Amino acid sequence: MISVVIPLYNKEKSIAATLESVLAQTYTDYEVVVVDDGSTDASAKVVQSLMKKSNKIRLISKPNGGVCSARNRGIIESKGYYIALLDGDDIWDKDFLKEQVILIHDFPEATMWGINFAETREGKIVRKIATALPDGYRGYVGNYFQMPKRVSDLFCSSSVVIRRDVFDKVGMFDERIKYAEDSDMWFRIIATEKVVFYDKYMVFYQWDAENRTMTKRRDLRYFLPYYVDKYKASIFKENKVFYRWVMRWAGVRIKQIYFNDPEQHKDAKVAARNLDYTQLPIKYRYELLTPYWFGKFVYRLLK
């Protein structure tokens, strides 16, 4: 019923614990598809050792192409009607899949179901994610892009189950993107489909795991705002609330880099051309569509 897709790149210290958390699930109708994305350490050997203990695990090896290409390969190779995503250094509560199946049953009109996650360091919870929803919320999320106090995406790349046919509608993971690639997928699904969220901590994001992308510098050309023009497609523009929100979300980030990071100024200028200025406050036109010296003067004046 469920295919657990795990992209793997140089996680030899953490992949065993991740897989053990899957094999310990109280719900058992699943397969595990691990896609080794050209690891240069012993990650694959660790997976192979666990394959001797369970026939649920499949290992696919491919040249390094990034986490999006690994997830896409895993989705294509999977057999389940539902796709559960899990990163190679995160941990699931033993009842995670069981709760997801109950959510699928209780909220059948959705195509993505998410459960809350917490951040850990040295095995201890260091931050619980604020949701802007009532404590313990369980149900459809109907105003995602209008939540004034939301500080997270609600969903993360280890906390969701997605009906596989939704990828035929919104597309696969964008392999051009290395940072916020999961947010891009959530945005596309939420803008066009019904989604469900359960505020219960059952996924644990390990900040101190090796090779964490969140701790690395974000080059704009590999970051979602650089490709904001993708949302100009009619399927996304039909959701006017989302379309306005995503242009402003990208505009804020592009503007910060445009005026504050000289090394990425040229890339920010390219990205700025892809914004839809009909969805932005007029100040953005003065800041980003005028000569740089004048735009910077306006930017500093308003700031």
What are the structural domains of the chain? Answer: 2-214 (3.90.550.10), 220-302 (no CATH)
Residue 178 has a pLDDT of 93
- Report the alpha-carbon distance of residue 280 to residue 144 in Å, rounded: 19
Q: Which tokens is 135 given? A: 């404590």
Q: Is 221 exposed, middle or buried (0-12, 13-18, 19+ CB in 10 A)?
A: middle
Residue 50 has a pLDDT of 97
Residue 5 has a pLDDT of 98
Q: Strand 195-206 and strand 112-121: pairing?
A: parallel
Residue 259 has a pLDDT of 96
Q: Which tokens is 293 given? A: 């010296």
Residue stretches of the chain with pLDDT short of 50: none
Kindly report the pTM of this predicted structure: 0.93
Residue 216 has a pLDDT of 61
Residue 215 has a pLDDT of 52
Residue 119 has a pLDDT of 81
